[in-house]
Chain A
Amino acid sequence: DVKVTQSSRYLVKRTGEKVFLECVQDMDHENMFWYRQDPGLGLRLIYFSYDVKMKEKGDIPEGYSVSREKKERFSLILESASTNQTSMYLCASSFDRDNQPQHFGDGTRLSIL
């Protein structure tokens, strides 16, 4: 079974803090993704990576950065957290082949106070 593990299920941080969200997958997937999900806005892609040390901006990269130093780990970084970054964050991974789905972690509900 594919396992995508996000480091925290719930997280509360303060405005201005640097926040790290970690994601680890155990299936040797090439591709990894970070989404945020907000009511009425659906899932929006923040960043993705198709290889170690490679990263590409998604639809809403502003205020975020990512790091992929190892194939199995993809980190999302909020450089200086703001209240409008309060959201559900979902990590996903997939093989770089046709008909292969993205597999998601359980999500992190992040609150910025």
Chain B
Amino acid sequence: AQKITQTQPGMFVQEKEAVTLDCTYDTSDQSYGLFWYKQPSSGEMIFLIYQGSYDEQNATEGRYSLNFQKARKSANLVISASQLGDSAMYFCAMREELISSGSARQLTFGSGTQLTVLP
């Protein structure tokens, strides 16, 4: 079974500063993928970034980067130069990879972190 833990229910950051959102996971799978999603107050879930367990480099997408530490089972999201529009709920999720088709690749989600960017 997989488990995702996000220990920060809420975080505050000053505009233009960097912020790290924590995510730890537990799995017995050898190959897995880690995802981060953003959910603004309007409700839609927006995919931000992906990290495969066998990727040697940390993933980056614009202002988002993933600090992946496999031995510690952590996959923290780093947002650089925070903007007011970054205020949202952020979810970490994972699933098993390298599996046969037909299993639909279910995601396991954490409980989320509410980020507020202060002007």
For B33, the chain A residues whose CB sits under 8 A away are 98-99
Number of A-B residue pairs with CB-CB distance less than 8 Å in the complex they form = 64
For B37, the chain A residues whose CB sits under 8 A away are 104
Task: Please determine whether A43 and B52 come into contact, CB atoms closer than 8 angstroms.
Answer: no
Closest partner residue, chain A, to B52 (CB atom): A99
Interface size class of B (residues with CB under 8 A): 20 to 34
**A:55-87 near B, CB below 8 Å:** 56, 58
Q: Among B43, B45, B47, B106, which residue has its beta carbon within 8 angstroms of that of A48?
A: B106
For B91, the chain A residues whose CB sits under 8 A away are 42-43
Number of A residues near B (Cβ < 8 Å) is: 30
Task: Please determine whether B52 and A98 come into contact, CB atoms closer than 8 angstroms.
Answer: yes
- Classify the interface of chain B: helix, strand, loop or mixed: loop
For B105, the chain A residues whose CB sits under 8 A away are 31, 94, 96, 100
For B103, the chain A residues whose CB sits under 8 A away are 50
* A22 within 8 A of partner (CB): no
Chain B contact residues, CB within 8 Å of chain A: 33, 35, 37, 42-47, 50, 52, 91, 97-98, 101-107, 109-112
Chain A contact residues, CB within 8 Å of chain B: 30-31, 33, 40, 42-43, 45, 48-51, 54, 56, 58, 88, 90, 92, 94, 96, 98-107, 109
9 extra interface residue pairs, beta carbon distance < 8 Å, beyond A31-B105, A49-B104, A50-B103: A54-B102, A96-B101, A98-B33, A99-B33, A99-B97, A102-B107, A104-B44, A104-B46, A104-B47
15 contacts between A and B (CB under 8 A): A33-B106, A42-B111, A42-B112, A48-B104, A50-B102, A50-B104, A88-B43, A96-B102, A96-B105, A98-B97, A99-B33, A102-B47, A104-B46, A106-B43, A109-B43
